[in-house]
Chains A and B, each alone.
Chain A
């Protein structure tokens, strides 16, 4: 009975998240279409100035622009095309957005993935050692290190990684780890201060046993939420790292699109990145909920 109820609750939670993602995408798409439509310079097309085109072709181009005047019609057409896998054509690069994404997404995924793994490894190692050692000088040192990295702009870390020939993934890790460390240190400190864990320590249980049997079940769901947030941080960090390290990924594409005011490309990228971060956050939330349900 309880299992069934939990199952129903879980299904409802997953449905809720799925609906939220769909609503965000639709609303985000409408916002993007509105912004593209209202951005200065939308009505003019460089192609109209091409001396090789005859007056009929120029007229046809003008007509095509006029057809996009209505925001809702413009949005509806964009949605229709997106449903068929056509995300439009980049104005600055003259290539289909889907092709550009297919070419560049693997590199970004690899960078972000490795960066996240490294940042979590460093942050957890520091947070756990601080919790185990309980030496205030060590705690102050790790906090100072993470605090210093937190005070350096992500783009400067990317520039320094170029200067010292550090791989891009490591630069992403250095950008993400301070935030992960801060959250996880606080969560672990709170968990280790709980009476049953203090008592387990006093009874001489090994640190590993305390960690996996007592601390992880308490702090695990919240750490998962931090994992969801860290995906968003890492994706954001990909922009300066790829742009300044000369890595041809989605982050560099977004930066180039921003500099060239290539709005169709930029808004498509933004909506896609939103979907990725929402999926990461929703997955973290659902898994955390499942862990809590199991615990109950």
Chain B
């Protein structure tokens, strides 16, 4: 592909992400009414000058909820991705570095996790946790669970990368010079896994955003009144036709645009890895 065109798409994706993040961070100024305030005189209203995207069925401003929901998803999905990448680095990186029985045991464990369909695993673990928790706790539980369960495929990649690094000339030379154990891992192996780690981090973000949306639509995600893309998309459930209330599709369009932007950014990271 033409490098100029590739860069154009990546720059565009980066600009879109920055714009969306900026807007979500400015939610307090752009939508001062907040995400929970009810306008009882205007329930399920169409877009107007006061409510740019209308209101939901209990009169909450949809524009405010979209902005706050975007903020939650875009702040916590990368946090969950960071957690899962760190866990993958620790489990996969160490297993690959140590090799032998350790690598086999770690990979058997990751295979066990990977053999489970992702959504099945998520709803099972979510059901094990109390469902009637405070909204803030539900946000933390949802994203923490994504971070704690989403490290397995990244661990596999890191295990194989660390395994090949273990046999590389510079690691052998370092070992011959007397560098061993944790020092060898921290100073020589881990820094060389940086590109792979970064790629895995970027891969995880859209996956976690989509997973939260799926959980939210199924009623197992973030609790009301806290907005998230999942809970906002639940509004589509009651629609009879697209033309009935097209503004209800705004969260979906925003989600698709953001995930697409992450995918476009991702290819650069993948190349680096």
Residues of A at the B interface (CB closer than 8 Å) are 20, 23-24, 27-28, 35, 39-40, 147-148, 150-156, 159-160, 163, 232-233, 235-237, 239-240, 243-244, 254-255, 257-259, 261-263, 266-267, 269-270, 273-274, 277-278, 281
Contact = CB atoms under 8 A, between A and B. Distances in A.
Interface in B108-144: 108, 111-112, 115-121, 123-124, 126-131
B255 interface: yes
Q: Is the interface of A mostly helix, strand, loop or mixed?
A: helix
25 contacts: A20-B111, A35-B128, A40-B130, A147-B263, A148-B256, A150-B263, A152-B255, A153-B213, A153-B214, A154-B210, A155-B217, A155-B233, A156-B236, A163-B241, A233-B117, A235-B120, A239-B120, A240-B214, A244-B217, A258-B126, A258-B127, A259-B220, A263-B128, A267-B124, A273-B117
Nearest to A158: B217
B242 interface: yes
Given A148-B260, A154-B214, 8 more contacts: A24-B115, A153-B217, A155-B217, A156-B213, A163-B240, A244-B218, A270-B120, A273-B117
A28 B113 CA distance: 9
Sorted nearest first, the 6 A-B pairs with minimum C-beta distance are A236-B117, A155-B217, A258-B127, A151-B259, A153-B213, A258-B123
A46 B75 CA distance: 40
Interface of B: 108, 111-112, 115-121, 123-124, 126-131, 206, 210, 213-214, 217-220, 230, 233, 236-237, 239-242, 252, 255-256, 259-260, 263
Contacts of B116: 270, 273-274, 277
Contacts of B214: 153-155, 240
Q: For A152, A155, A239, A240, which residue has the most chain B Cβ atoms within 10 angstroms?
A: A155
A147 B260 contact: yes
A257 B127 contact: yes
A155 B213 contact: yes
A281 B115 CA distance: 8
Contacts of B119: 154, 236-237, 239-240
A54 to B, nearest CB: 31
A236 B118 contact: yes
Contacts of B230: 153
Contact of B233 (A40, A153, A263): A153
B218 A243 contact: yes
A240 to B, nearest CB: 6
A255 to B, nearest CB: 6
A159 B236 contact: yes
A28 B131 contact: no
A278 B121 CA distance: 15
Contact of B218 (A232, A240, A263, A266): A240
Given A255-B218, A259-B219, A263-B127, A163 B236 contact: yes
